[in-house]
């Protein structure tokens, strides 16, 4: 049944990671839908840029200016909390102060290559992500267990199993007995593993304390604009193209415009679930407005279609008016390039999602964004430098 036309009452929604690529457009979208929104962030994403010597292709304003611009344009207020989720006092105080009905949690280190740089980055990623989420679970349990946690997970938690990927849970029959178990996970980086650990901690909190949580196992996101961010340049969200934080389709678009070969890793046979950023914000809205039950650990696969990396490269190349060269680089990651991939992703559609499938129009609009800021591109940042097998070569620092 579609719930999309139902009139929904205004909710208090706290968006953790609200200064990031997806958190900021989501906060705007929820505010535009009439919800009372607050954002939280420690700005560590902006620090990674300083560390790596790169920056978003599209210039982004400070959170302060973004919020002030939104208020000037729409009259709507977004509250902000500046702090780190791994600090329990900050997390508890914020949840007690804002009293949200839903907490949308984007606030994690989200780049697989960043987590594979060396031991230090792997440990940072897992401590930041797992400890931050644990603090959020405790703060919810001790403040108001009715608060619905909507947490961003990732399709990469599942890996590429040789059976269909279900939405989080699997019915199994073993030696004549049946059970419903968490879907077995086999992720491909220490980052993706951090999400698996989070999922287990959330399921435990739902089962033991009766919390309510939705895990949104999202595919690779593409796109840069939503109706809200397009209202004013000062509302723009970031657009990463570097080899650490840039995601595959966004990178290929920038490479096509700059006449750089598309960096397909290996044969490009690896298939991934993908999703348009406009669908990301809508999915989060649907999850908030249709909460999980108390004690329920609900999982949705937040992706709209599956494409291999080679198909993504072909689609970008076909949409670009000039010639595009594809460079099959030695794959710096360890991943299957030939595999089965069939994902169930009906839960969000049943709640009312009407997917934007990948189109030439969308890709062309990304070409336009890239052309506008092409002089900001650092071509050196395009080459992958993080090797999944780095630890074996004594390349990692203690």
Residues in contact with ligand NAD by CB under 6 A are 17, 19-23, 41-45, 84-86, 106-110, 128, 132, 152, 154, 218, 220-221, 247
- HSE-up of 217 (CA within 13 Å, CB side)? 32
Binding partner of residue 284 among ligand USQ, ligand NAD, none, CB cut-off 5 to 8 Å per kind: none
Per CB under 6 A, 333 contacts ligand USQ: yes
- Is 191 marked active-site? yes
> Binding residue for ligand USQ (CB under 6 A) from 31, 86, 154, 302?
154
Backbone φ and ψ of 228, nearest 5°: -75, -45
**List 21, 81, 114, 191, catalytic entry:** 191
CB of 219 to ligand USQ, least distance (A): 4
Q: How far apart are CA 278 and CA 227, in angstroms?
A: 8
Write each residue from 9 to 28 as x if it is in contact with ligand USQ (CB under 6 A), else as -, in one continuous string.
--------------------
Residue 158 · residue 111 · CB < 8 Å? no
> Binding residue for ligand USQ (CB under 6 A) from 23, 156, 291, 347?
156
Q: How far apart are CA 24 and CA 237, in angstroms?
A: 7
Using CB positions, name the residue nearest to ligand NAD. 20
Torsion angle in degrees (nearest 10) through CA of 239, 244, 248, 252:
70
Of 367, 335, 300, the closest CA to residue 153 belongs to 300
Burial class of 53 by CB neighbour count within 10 A (0 to 12, 13 to 18, 19+):
exposed
Tokens of 92: 């508890």
Per CB under 6 A, 270 contacts ligand USQ: yes
Per CB under 6 A, 121 contacts ligand USQ: no
- Is 154 marked active-site? yes
> Binding residue for ligand USQ (CB under 6 A) from 264, 287, 307, 362?
264
Q: How far apart are CA 117 and CA 395, in angstroms?
A: 9
Chain residues that interact with ligand USQ, rule: CB under 6 A: 110-112, 154-156, 192, 218-220, 247-248, 251, 263-265, 270, 272-273, 309, 333, 335
């Amino acid at each position: 049944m579609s719930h999309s036309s139902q009139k929904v009452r205004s909710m208090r929604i706290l968006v953790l990671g609200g200064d990031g690529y997806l958190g900021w457009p989501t906060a705007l979208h929820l505010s535009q839908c009439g919800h009372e929104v607050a954002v939280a962030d420690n700005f560590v994403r902006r620090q990674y840029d300083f560390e790596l010597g790169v920056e978003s292709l599209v210039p982004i304003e400070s959170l302060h200016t973004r919020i002030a611009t939104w208020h000037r344009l729409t009259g709507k207020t977004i509250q902000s909390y500046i702090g780190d989720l791994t600090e329990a006092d900050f997390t508890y105080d914020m949840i007690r102060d804002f009293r949200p009905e839903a907490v949308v949690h984007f606030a994690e280190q989200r780049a697989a290559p960043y987590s594979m740089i060396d031991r230090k980055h792997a440990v940072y990623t897992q401590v930041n992500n797992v400890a931050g989420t644990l603090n959020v679970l405790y703060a919810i349990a001790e403040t108001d267990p009715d608060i619905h946690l909507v947490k961003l997970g990732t399709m990469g938690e599942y890996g590429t199993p040789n059976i269909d990927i279900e939405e989080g849970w699997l019915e199994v029959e073993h030696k004549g007995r049946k059970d419903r178990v968490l879907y077995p996970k086999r992720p491909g980086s220490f980052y993706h593993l951090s999400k698996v650990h989070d999922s287990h901690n959330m399921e435990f909190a739902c089962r033991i304390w009766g919390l309510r949580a939705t895990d949104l196992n999202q595919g690779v996101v593409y796109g840069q604009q939503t109706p809200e961010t397009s209202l004013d340049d000062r509302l723009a969200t970031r657009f990463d193209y570097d080899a650490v934080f840039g995601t595959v389709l966004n990178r290929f678009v920038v490479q096509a415009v700059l006449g750089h070969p598309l960096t397909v890793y290996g044969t490009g046979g690896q298939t991934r679930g993908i999703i348009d950023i406009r669908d990301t914000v809508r999915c989060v809205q649907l999850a908030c407005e249709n909460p999980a039950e108390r004690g329920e650990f609900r999982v949705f696969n937040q992706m709209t279609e599956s494409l291999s990396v080679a198909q993504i490269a072909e689609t970008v190349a076909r949409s670009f008016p000039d010639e595009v060269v594809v460079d099959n680089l030695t794959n710096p990651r360890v991943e299957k390039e030939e595999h089965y991939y069939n994902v169930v992703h009906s839960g969000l559609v049943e709640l009312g999602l009407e997917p934007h499938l990948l189109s030439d129009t969308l890709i062309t609009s990304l070409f336009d964004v890239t052309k506008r800021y092409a002089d900001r591109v650092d071509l050196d940042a395009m080459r992958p430098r993080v090797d999944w097998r780095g630890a074996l070569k004594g390349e990692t620092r203690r």
